[in-house]
Structure 1
Amino acid sequence: MSTVSRRGASSPHELTRIGERLSFVYLERCTVHRDSNAITAEDANGVTHLPSATIGTLLLGPGTRVTHQAMALLGESGTGVVWVGEHGVRYYAGGRALTRSSGLVEAQATAWANRRTRLDVARAMYRLRFPDEDTAGRTRKELLGMEGQRVRDCYRRESRRMDVPWRRREFNRDDFSAGDAPNQAITAAAQCMYGVSHSVVAALGCSPGLGFVHSGHERSFVMDVADFYRTEIAIPVAFDAAAEGEEDVATRTRRMLRDPINQIGLLDRCVQDIKGLLDYDGTRDTSESNGASQDRVTLLSDGDRHVESGHNYGDEIVW
């Protein structure tokens, strides 16, 4: 029996705000199904219930099977779903979260399409990461040099803090285990941060591909956002995990990331940082401004004027 149109999509006010959700849940070697309004993960140890409406993004690792009903619930809940490789290292595919307004993606595209404003946003991104640095007037080459030095300094500082030997950053795409413990942990932490930032980017309706620092990749903007918190969260946690040994370092890194991500309210902070960088206040979003629960679709007329859709303007001149 067909279920088309039987269940309507949740309105914005019925969804848990992205900033108030858990950051991510990683699953592997299990079957993901639905039980009422919860997601279940069943493996050899039994069944675990997960409240879908409070998950920011679900990372599906090797050996996972997911049912149609589970994906339907995740879609209704506005939960991001990402298929990843072993240890969460590879990104294979992503299911988008619910979006309501095109306001943020329009602001993003407007800033991105102009070379001057694209550089202005890039400078603001570096200023967000390194608030004690003056980025005004900096060229892209200077910004990249500044970032490289700061990240190298962070590696050395965290190595001394945790007494973990550090040589250099190494990552083998074809063999995750080829790296030493800190390199494995840094890679695992970076992938988790990409998953978190992708869930926020998708939930806000931004374009993952329109980056201001990164370019040429379908997730350039996701990488931009994840880098905001690299030296503050990802690298320190990676060295904390590496200090406990090389065995299961990727799994340990993911577990250790959860606490600081939730403690500082990273998802909410990520939302505010993106809106601030794009100079977006949400006044055109009906779900944020006047409390309306229905979506609003408009048509563009001359002079960038918006007129209501669902109306035939064949006999009218729209000014």
Structure 2
Amino acid sequence: MSLPGLPPPRPIPLKDRASLVFVERAQLDVQDGAFVAVNADGTRTQIPVGGLAGLMLEPGARISHAAVALAARTGTLITWVGEGGVRLYSAGQPGGARADKLLWQAAIALDPAARLRVVRRMYEMRFDEAAPERRSIDQLRGIEGAKVRRAYELLAQAHGVRWTRRSYDVANWEAGDVPNRCLSAATACLHGLTEAAVLAAGYAPAIGFLHTGKPLSFVYDIADLWKLETVVPEAFRVAGLAEKGKLDMSPERSVRLACRDAFRRTGLLSKIIPRIEEVLSAGQLP
């Protein structure tokens, strides 16, 4: 807290903060000047809100006006999410209202050579190999698409899933087959987690490099760096169990729970923000 007549303390730089923290089934409030989580039994846990990139409020969490105001003053993002971050419903003030990250991201995206460097770096991270030389962004997008389709085929074989192709209709969810519905549910989980991290880091979800022209283009770019090693295997595993009649809940719900557990087990959230910085650094302008 700041003293009367003095300006509020300067927020801690994002790179020096801890990652995002999940809060569920607790009341967030400010007591005696401290940001606290109060459980149903009255147990009080102090949270160093100014040292966090953001707080993810899961079902059962409530927050007071004073707590929201304190988080805003310290530049800490608050997001309202599903269990484990598998859905992002709403977000507070992203990035502590700083423009430097947005301007850096936009400058790189608007420079064709810098944008291509970023896309090539993302390719290297995603497939653990150098991107082919003298290829345009459209050509690299086509190569990536072929690799992803092949990965789907191999995972379907490994889990005994009948697979034809990626096909879904957002307006008619039930029209899709079980594997496609599982993939859509898994991808939505990863996108929710990634969007929270992008917002917390102060970047614009819409300013993408490989993906463009959509509200979440940059979210898709970053999420794809982990897609094949995290949520896609879970989707095919669950689809395989569903086809064998070994699920006691809907495939979509089973996928969401599996993704939630995978996010927590791998600590994925703590890796996303540093990777964003690494990706954009590849397009560093003179």
Per the normalisation by structure 1, the TM-score is 0.65
1:249 maps to amino acid: P
User: How many residues matched?
Assistant: 263
Decide whether the 8 Å contact of 2:123 with 2:131 is kept in 1. Answer: no
Aligned to 2:17: 17
Which protein shows a greater Rg?
Answer: 1
- 1:70-117 Cα deviation digits (max 9, x unpaired): 755765682442578xxx77x765434442754433321221121121
2:277 aligned residue: 275
Matches within 5 A, 1:160-171: 160-171=157-168
1:204 equivalent among 201, 205, 218: 201
* CA distances 1:94-144 after superposition (whole Å, capped 9, x unpaired): 434442754433321221121121122112112211122433321123212
Alpha-carbon distance in 1 for matches of 2:121, 2:14: 33
Match of 2:151 in 1: 154
Structure 1 residue 215: deviation in Å? 1.1
Alpha-carbon distance, 1:56 to partner: 5.3
* Alignment of structure 1 residues 200-279 onto 2, 5 Å: 200-245=197-242, 247-279=249-281
Instruction: Give distance in 2, aligned partners of 1:221 and 1:199.
Output: 12
- Asked if structure 2 preserves the Cα contact closer than 8 Å seen for 1:59 and 1:81, the reply is yes
Comparing 239-248 with 136-145, greater Cα deviation is found at 239-248
1:219-257 C-alpha deviation (Å, 9 max, x unpaired) = 211111111111111201112232332633222222212
Q: 1:78 aligns with which of 66, 76, 79?
A: 76
Partner of 1:140: 137
Q: Structure 2 vs 1, CA of residues 277 and 79 (structure 1 numbering), >3 Å: closer, same or farther? A: same
Equivalent of residue 189 in structure 1, options 179, 186, 195: 186
Conserved in 1, the CA contact under 8 Å of 2:81 and 2:89?
A: yes
Mark the CA change 1:16 to 1:123 in structure 2 (over 3 Å): closer, same or farther: closer
List per-residue Cα deviations over 1:26-74 (Å, max 9, x = no partner): x8xx9x85455456899xxx99x9997579564778x999875675576
Residue pair 1:57, 1:199 contacting (<8 A) in 2 also: no
Superposition RMSD in Å:
4.0
- Offset of residue 180 of structure 1: 2.6
Question: What does 1:46-195 align with in structure 2 at a 5 Å threshold?
Answer: 58=56, 68=65, 71-72=68-69, 75=72, 78-82=76-80, 93-99=90-96, 101-195=98-192
Question: 1:197, 1:225 → 2: CA distance?
Answer: 7
Match of 1:316 in 2: none
AA aligned to 2:79 is V
Tell me the distance in 1 between the aligned counterparts of 2:194 and 2:187. 10
Q: State the distance in 2 between where 1:216 and 1:109 align.
A: 13
Gaps of 5+ in 1: 281-319
* In structure 2, distance between residues paired with 1:265 and 1:107: 27
Q: Distance in 2 between matches of 1:56 and 1:258?
A: 18
Structure 2 runs not aligned, ≥5 long: none
Using the alignment, how far apart are the partners of 1:123 and 1:74 within structure 2?
Answer: 37
Maintained 8 Å contact 1:33/1:70: no
Letter matched to residue 200 of structure 1:
A
Amino acid at match of 1:194: H
SS in structure 2 of the partner of residue 207 of structure 1? coil
The answer to whether the Cα contact below 8 Å between 2:29 and 2:64 also exists between their aligned partners in 1 is no
